Amino acid sequence: MFGGIFEKNNVEDKIRTFVSKTTEINFWKDKFLAQKILKKKKFFEDISNSFNNTTNELENLEGLLELASNENDNVVIKDCDEKINLLLHQIKKTEVKCFLSNEDDHLDAYLEIHAGAGGTESQDWAQMLRRMYSKWVERKKCKFEIISEHRGEEAGIKSSTLKIIGSHMFGWLKLESGVHRLVRISPFDSGSRRHTSFASVWVYPVVDDNIKIDIKENEIRIDTYRSSGAGGQHVNTTDSAVRITHLPTNIVVQCQNERSQHKNKATCFNMLKARLHNYEIQKKEEASESLAKSKTDIGWGHQIRSYVLQPYQLVKDLRNDYEDTNPSNVLNGDIDSFLENSLFKLKANKH
């Protein structure tokens, strides 16, 4: 029923592996490693428990459905059908969890949004995307904080960086990287003409503190500038915002959400560390020709999803053809189906 992705014996083997690690003499000496292993153990235990509970419920429903069919009890038969549909939904949720077991999937995530060409139109679209992801995070009962943001002159945002904190946030969002396209009647056009806007999204993991990334002083440039926040006495009075450029890779990170330049600098270094870690992972992936080809679909100019508000209502993921005819719900954060279908497609491509 789980399509081969979930095998009970495989998960139980992983649980036994984690349990055996907890019995090692030096296990509790490294608190960070201990917490990491116990968190993974709980993750696999939750999957195993969900599998067992679903199996038991299906067996009970099978027996009840057989009795109801023999007695032609249509009320019970209908009730069984409804419960089976709920269980199938739960099975899909459990199956998706199996796709979130890669090395970095459990980590928090940085999410960057950049407006494309088109001025106010694209900047407004970038802000709509930021709101969509923020609403999704709230639906997950997780948290986010704005690390850096540059507003448009008239409306919207030129760019925004969010740190999203919660269970498996990187695993959930990692396939959102790419260009997102909006088609609508422009609220900024006096002629009420239809406009197409683009914004790019890039997601990378917040790396663990125990991951060592060597950043040499002669390979970075640190710039400070005045914050462009929401206002107040502090804004535009001190050079508290920090931008760090990693010269060998041309990676740029920036932070302006703290009043202290020292704190912004520390956040920038954490972001740079995460970006370099992700950069190394991507280099390894690109060693495989098939993966390198698939990654061309998420470069700038290669849209992954279209959000059409006019002349019809449709959101379509162009990588797996999944569609939703209610853009309002999607833009209000109801994107689980898109995330799940992307994960299913990724798994299918690997087989």
Q: What are the pLDDT digits (tens) for 66-77?
A: 888 888 888 988
* Beta strand pairing call for 220-225 and 241-246: antiparallel
Q: Is residue 248 a part of any domain in this protein? A: yes
Q: In terms of domains, do 158 and 281 share one?
A: yes
H or E stretch including 82? helix 74-98
Q: Is residue 3 a part of any domain in this protein? A: no
Q: In terms of domains, do 79 and 222 share one?
A: no
Q: In terms of domains, do 242 and 149 share one?
A: yes
Domain that holds residue 93: 8-98
Q: Is residue 127 a part of any domain in this protein? A: yes
SS3 assignment for 278-335: HHHHHHHHCCCHHHHHHHHHHCCCCEEEEEECCCCCEEEECCCCCEECCHHHHHCCCC
* Angle at the Cα of 332 from the Cα atoms of 327 and 336, rounded to 5 degrees: 80
Q: Is residue 255 a part of any domain in this protein? A: yes
Q: Is residue 160 a part of any domain in this protein? A: yes
Q: In terms of domains, do 59 and 142 share one?
A: no
By the 8 A CB rule, do 107 and 170 touch?
yes
Cα–Cα distance between 110 and 126 in angstroms, integer? 16
Q: Is residue 2 a part of any domain in this protein? A: no
Q: In terms of domains, do 91 and 112 share one?
A: no
Q: In terms of domains, do 39 and 134 share one?
A: no
Q: In terms of domains, do 56 and 200 share one?
A: no
Q: In terms of domains, do 84 and 158 share one?
A: no
Q: In terms of domains, do 345 and 205 share one?
A: yes
Total count of domains within the chain: 2
Q: In terms of domains, do 79 and 152 share one?
A: no
CATH number at residue 245: 3.30.70.1660
Fill in the amino acid letter for 13: D
Which pLDDT score is estimated for 216?
Answer: 86
Q: Which two tokens stand for residue 332?
A: 């209000």
Cα–Cα distance between 341 and 339 in angstroms, integer? 6
Q: In terms of domains, do 311 and 236 share one?
A: yes
Q: In terms of domains, do 21 and 134 share one?
A: no
Q: Is residue 1 a part of any domain in this protein? A: no
Domain boundary among 98, 127, 157: 98
Closest by Cα among 274, 275, 268 to 251? 275
Which pLDDT score is estimated for 157?
Answer: 94
Which pLDDT score is estimated for 338?
Answer: 96
Cα–Cα distance between 297 and 178 in angstroms, integer? 8
Domain boundary among 98, 116, 144: 98
Which pLDDT score is estimated for 288?
Answer: 43
Domain boundary among 98, 128, 156: 98
By the 8 A CB rule, do 146 and 170 touch?
no
Q: Is residue 256 a part of any domain in this protein? A: yes
CATH number at residue 67: 1.20.58
Strand, coil or helix: 14: helix
By the 8 A CB rule, do 163 and 145 touch?
yes
β-sheet bridge partners, residue 157: 151
Q: Which two tokens stand for residue 67?
A: 């009795």
The model's pTM is 0.72
Long-range contacts of 261-269 (CB under 8 A, 24+ apart): 261/224, 264/240, 265/222, 267/147, 267/242, 268/242, 268/243, 268/244, 269/215, 269/244
Regions of the chain with pLDDT less than 50:
1-6, 230-236, 288-299
